[in-house]
Amino acid sequence: MDASSILLVGLSHHTAPIAVRERFSFDAEGLRSLLSVLRSNGSEECVLQEVTALATCNRLEVYAISFEPTLAAHQIIGEIARQRGTAQAELTPYVYVKTGRPAIDHLFHVASGLDSLILGEAQILGQVADAYETAQRCGASGSILARLFQAALHCGKRARRETAISSYTTSVSHAAVKQARALLGDLSRCSALILGAGEMAELAAAALRQHRIASLLCINRTQAHAEQLAAQTGGRALTWSQLDEALVTADLVISATAAPSMVLTAATVAQAMRARNGRPLVMFDIAHPRDIDPNVDALPGVMRFDLDHLQHCIDANLGRRQAAVPEVKAIIAEESIAFMEWLAARSVLPAVVALRRRGEAIAQQETERTLRRLLHKHPDDERIRQEVKRLAARIVAKLLHEPTVRLKARAANGDGASFAQALAELFELEIPAPSSALSVTTAGAREYRESGANHHSPLLSASNDAAFFYPEHCNGVYAHE
């Protein structure tokens, strides 16, 4: 198994307009259906050994393991088109296909936020995790893709922990709330009014909740949408006819409707200000076109901000994120190399385990022979028995440690197979032939750890009977599924 068997088929905001992305979008149930069909086809035709799908509003990507990537890519594109009731030719122009290292690097870029519509956005990391978990639950993903997605998640977490790629908000909604907090102070003592119920309104409401806003009022032309937003964010929905009342009680207004013209006139706001008894009102207009009449700026006690006011902050923050891109790419390179080394090391792990077993078998024979002599007169002396066994185990571990490390290094350089074969001939090892369907078992992992491999980090996770490890502690052995 080498990197060339890793396949990516996808479309995203880089290659497809929103209308196309919407047409080929998949909800959770649709994604499970797609994985099920692709995996079953793979089992029958031996084309797809493993498959995982990542679906967001801006991308649909299918990652697969196949020894026939060209045929597999054709099968994936065809099935996506079939499930959306369209011809494959209509989908193909928007699709990109990557194999091997480019496919690996792409997933790491995605998880790190470098391939997102908004640079460094954090939501994609959770979506990558969801893709991994869905494939695991469906039984579509095996040890290779599981390890790949775990490595991608680790890479994404490192990028956000070690760099500023996700620091400094670039969301208009979050920027508005941040500015409101700077003006009003502790939001837990304030009341906010959200106009609108779309994505920007949702983000603003969520940000206000994060800052523990005391009261959140939601108003939208479509009452059901206002009620839905209120239910999601713990707010209270009002009717559009209650807008004047809400303007009197709120300390903060964030307007993000999709109205074609202004919804808050200077006269409406002036009327509310007269009833506020001198209390100031902070207003953020994050709609396009604008919702709030700019003439409210002339009203005493009103502070209004629109997209132009917030853009400077967003541009500065985006610049800070862009400055972190080289650091993130360095992390991606490290993690990609580590995954490639792990993948290469898999080819020699059967030889390592076989060598370990041979050493243990010889050590056990000699240990028992020695103990029979030493314990001839004191057969119940457990202290001597354990000390001799520990001595034999230490000798085996130290003797085999260097060959293990060197064999892994040879595998990383691409010539591990020939050295594993030489090892097998020199020590008369019985090494099972690799299978097209492989897994890493916990029993094999334990054997390999005890053989002297470096392992400084804990086991990442386990799925069913398979366990997956980081490359610096490739503690696994092939097992036929």
Residue 46 has pLDDT above 60, yes or no: no
Percent of the chain with pLDDT over 90: 55
Asked whether residue 393 carries a pLDDT value surpassing 50, the answer given is: yes
Give the closest residue to 75 by CA, choosing from 105, 110, 34.
34
As beta bridge partners, residue 218 has: 194, 237
pLDDT for 348 equals: 66
- The pLDDT, as a whole number, for residue 8 is 97
| pLDDT over 60 (residue 452) | no
Q: What is the mean pLDDT of residues 213-223?
A: 96
Average pLDDT over residues 295-306: 96
Query: Residue 414 has what pLDDT?
Result: 65
pLDDT at 191 over 70: yes
Please tell me the least confidently modeled range out of 47-61, 186-200, 256-270, 377-391. 377-391
* Residue-level pLDDT at 371: 86
Q: With bands split at pLDDT 50, 70 and 90, how would you rate the model's confidence at 313?
A: confident
Mean pLDDT, to the nearest integer, of 224-251?
96
Highest mean pLDDT out of 20-29, 44-53, 72-81:
72-81
Amino acid found at 119: L
For the chain, give the mean pLDDT.
Answer: 83
Q: Residue 165: pLDDT band by 50, 70, 90 thresholds?
A: very high
Residue 338 reports pLDDT greater than 70: yes
Confidence of residue 412 (pLDDT cuts 50, 70, 90): low
CA 301, CA 309: separation in Å to the nearest integer? Answer: 18
Q: What is the mean pLDDT of residues 88-96?
A: 95
Residue pLDDT, tens place only, 394-411: 988 888 888 777 777 776
Name, of 82-91, 168-177, 306-315, the range with top average pLDDT: 82-91
Q: Is the pLDDT of residue 194 over 70?
A: yes
Give me the catalytic one of 46, 57, 155, 190: 57
Report whether pLDDT(227) > 90.
yes
User: Quick one: pLDDT at residue 418?
Assistant: 67
Residue 461 dihedral angles phi and psi, to the nearest 5° = -165, 170
Catalytic residue check, 313: no
Bigger pLDDT: 288 or 159?
159
Question: Taking the complete model, does pTM exceed 0.85, yes or no?
Answer: no
pLDDT of residue 131: 95
What's the confidence (pLDDT) of residue 44? 47
- Using 50, 70 and 90 to split pLDDT, how confident is the model at 439? very low
Minimum mean pLDDT range among 123-127, 131-135, 170-174? 170-174
pLDDT at 436: 38
The pLDDT, as a whole number, for residue 408 is: 72
Q: Find out whether 140 and 35 touch, Cβ atoms under 8 Å.
A: yes
Q: pLDDT tens, 135-151?
A: 999 999 999 999 999 99
Answer whether residue 206 shows pLDDT above 80: yes
Secondary structure of the chain in the HEC alphabet? Answer: CCHHHEEEEEEECCCCCHHHHHHCCCCHHHHHHHHHHHHHHHHHHCCCCEEEEEEECCEEEEEEECCCHHHHHHHHHHHHHHHCCCCHHHHHHHCEEEECHHHHHHHHHHHHCCCCCCCCCCHHHHHHHHHHHHHHHHCCCCHHHHHHHHHHHHHHHHHHHHCCCCCCCCCHHHHHHHHHHHHHCCHHHCEEEEECCCHHHHHHHHHHHHCCCCEEEEECCCHHHHHHHHHHHCCEEECHHHHHHHHHHCCEEEECCCCCCCCECHHHHHHHHHCCCCCCEEEEECCCCCCECHHHHHCCCEEEEEHHHHHHHHHHHHHHHHHCHHHHHHHHHHHHHHHHHHHHHCCCHHHHHHHHHHHHHHHHHHHHHHHHHHCCCCCCCHHHHHHHHHHHHHHHHHHHHHHHHHHHHHHHCCCHHHHHHHHHHHHCCCCCCCCCCEEEEHHHHHHHHHCCCCCCCCCCEEECCEEECCHHHCCCCEEEC
Average pLDDT value for residue range 93-97: 97
Q: Is the pLDDT of residue 218 over 60?
A: yes
